[in-house]
Structure 1
Amino acid sequence: MRISVPATSANLGPGFDTLGLALKIKNQVTIRPAKFHSVSLKGEGSNNPILKDNNMFIAIFNDFYNNLSQKKRSFRFEFENQIPLSRGLGSSSAVIVSAIASAYAIEEMELPKEKLLNLALAYESHPDNITPAVMGGFTVSSVEDNEVKFINKSIPKSLSAVVVVPNRPISTQLSRKTLPYKYSKEDAIFNVSHSSLLTAAFMSENWEMLKIASQDKFHQSYRMRQMPELFEVQKCSLNSGALMSTLSGSGSTLFSICYFEDAKKIEKELRAKFPHFKVFISGFDNYGIKVEA
């Protein structure tokens, strides 16, 4: 069987730990019956032997498979990774949801996406990445009584993403330590209003509102100071025609949305100005995780 999960960009500026969307960049794992356990890895992370020996996917898969199955079977896991590691594009969330879904699929047990989301919550306490990874599209999510409550919306083909992946990471754990312990009432109101406006802009497809709505006072500037060139990447993206440009998750990736016809121009400008960073165009994924037997 084959399981694919899209990359995700979370926060989207003011939607701290609540907003996210799915990209047409995927991690894929093919699982085959085998005489003994084995792992192969292609793409992102393939040059890191630690990922084979200390594989989070295998650990989570085994947790669920051993609980669901009475059989003792061995498998070959073939990973093809497109999602950059530790760059704020949801690589960990992709591993979590695909590992859980794989265990259920191998046992031919039905797993509704809503249940998958809630199972994944035990490994990823914030729903902003796991929700678009599972459901696809643009998602607004919250956690109530240990359950993910969400609304999602498909993103039209008239939009594209331009993604800038720096050559070094920003640690999620360390970046959270850079954030203020307390926020002023004014900053809180600013973020609530802009997150609400951003959500309304996506739902109503008012794309011209994205630039204003994606402004943030909770986390972006604090995190971007760890890699000051990101401010220039953001400025270049917006000046080149992006509708919005935000830090992806906790970084270090800078994520921009633009009209489809503007994407190549923006990509060209960014590549010329930041040759040491990886720059590419992506569409959006409106389906989320796929399991194909």
Structure 2
Amino acid sequence: MRISVPATSANLGPGFDTLGLAISLHNQVSIKPSKFHSVSLKGEGSNNPVLKDNNMFIAIFNDFYHNLSQKKRHFRFEFSNEIPLSRGLGSSSAVIVSAIASAYAIEGIKIEKEKLLNLALAYESHPDNITPAVMGGFNVATVHENEVKFIKKDMPRSVKAIVVIPNRPMSTQLSRKALPFKYSKEDTIFNISHSSLLTAAFINEDWEMLRNASLDKIHQKYRMKQMPELFDVQKTALKHGALMSTLSGSGSTLFSIALNEDAKRIESELHKRFPHFRVLTRGFDNDGVVIKD
């Protein structure tokens, strides 16, 4: 059996810990019965031997599998990763979601996506990454009484994601420590209003509204100061026609949206301006986690 989970971009500017969407950049894992435990790893993270020995996927998979089956079996895990590690593209959420889904699938137990999402919440307390990883598309999500409440909107093919991936990570833990302990009423209202407008813009596909609606006063500038060149990346993307450009999650990736006809030009300009960073253009994923026999 094989599991595929998309990359995600969370926050999207003002939607701190609330808004997220899925990008067509995937981690896949193939699981086969085996006489002994074995792991192979291709793509992102394959040059990190620690991931084979201290693999979060296998730890979560084993917890769920043993609870579901009460059996001892060995498997061969073959990972093929496209999602960069520790770059704000939801690599941890992809691991959590795929590990839980795999444990159920290998036992032949059908799991509804809503249940999968809420099981993942135990490992990732913020729903902005895990929700699009499970559901795909654009999602508005919150947690109420330990349950994720969300609304999903499929993303059209008329727009593309452009991600600029720096050559070094930004720690989520340190990134959160950089944030203020208190915010002014004015900044709080600013973010509530812009997050609401951004949500409406996505739902209505009002792409021209994104640039203003995606402005933020809560977290981006504090986090981006850790890697000041990100301000220039953002400015360059917007200058050359991006509809919006925001820090992806807690960074270090910068995420932009562009109309199809503008995406390649913007990607080319970003390549020229930041040759030491990776620049990728991708469509959006509306399926989320997919299990294939």
TM over 0.5: yes
Within 1, Cα distance between the matches of 2:122 and 2:15?
21
Instruction: Supply the AA of the counterpart residue of 1:176.
Output: R
Match of 1:189 in 2: 189
1:149 shift after superposition: 0.2
1:85 aligned onto 2:85: yes
Between the aligned partners of 1:10 and 1:167, the Cα distance in structure 2 is 20
| Distance across 1 between alignment mates of 2:255 and 2:149 | 25
- Residue 19 of structure 1: aligned partner: 19
Q: What is residue 266 of structure 2 aligned with on the other side?
A: 266
Supply the RMSD in Å over aligned alpha carbons. 0.4
Q: For residues 160 and 101 of structure 1, what CA distance do their matches in structure 2 show?
A: 28
| TM-score, structure 2 normalization | 1.00
CA distance in 2, matches of 1:56, 1:216: 33
Aligned length: 293
Q: Tell me which residue corresponds to 1:155.
A: 155
Partner in structure 2 of residue 121 of structure 1:
121
Is 1:220 the counterpart of 2:220? The answer is yes
Other structure's SS at 1:152 match: strand
Give the drift of 1:71: 2.0
CA distance in 1, matches of 2:71, 2:232: 55
Inter-partner Cα distance in structure 2 for 1:280 and 1:200: 27
Task: Report the CA distance between 1:112 and its aligned residue.
Answer: 0.2
Question: 5+ residue gaps in structure 1?
Answer: none
SS of the residue 1:218 aligns to? coil
Q: What is the TM-score of this pair, normalised by structure 1? A: 1.00
Question: Aligned partners of 2:170 and 2:107: how far apart in 1?
Answer: 38
Is 1:231 matched with 2:234?
no
C-alpha distance in 1, partners of 2:52/2:249? 25
Measured in 2, the distance between the counterparts of 1:105 and 1:197 equals 39
State how far apart, in whole Å, the 2-side matches of 1:64 and 1:180 are.
38
Distance 1:14 1:28 in 2: 31
Measured against aligned partners, the alpha-carbon deviations of 1:142-183 in whole angstroms (never above 9, x if no partner) come to: 000100000000010000011100000110000100000000
Q: What is the Cα deviation at residue 110 of structure 1?
A: 1.4
- Counterpart CA distance in 2 for 1:292 and 1:82 is 18
1:285 partner SS: coil
Partners in 1 of 2:120 and 2:162 — Cα distance? 28
- Report percent identity of matched pairs: 77
**1:70 to partner: Cα distance:** 2.4
Moved over 4 A (4+): none
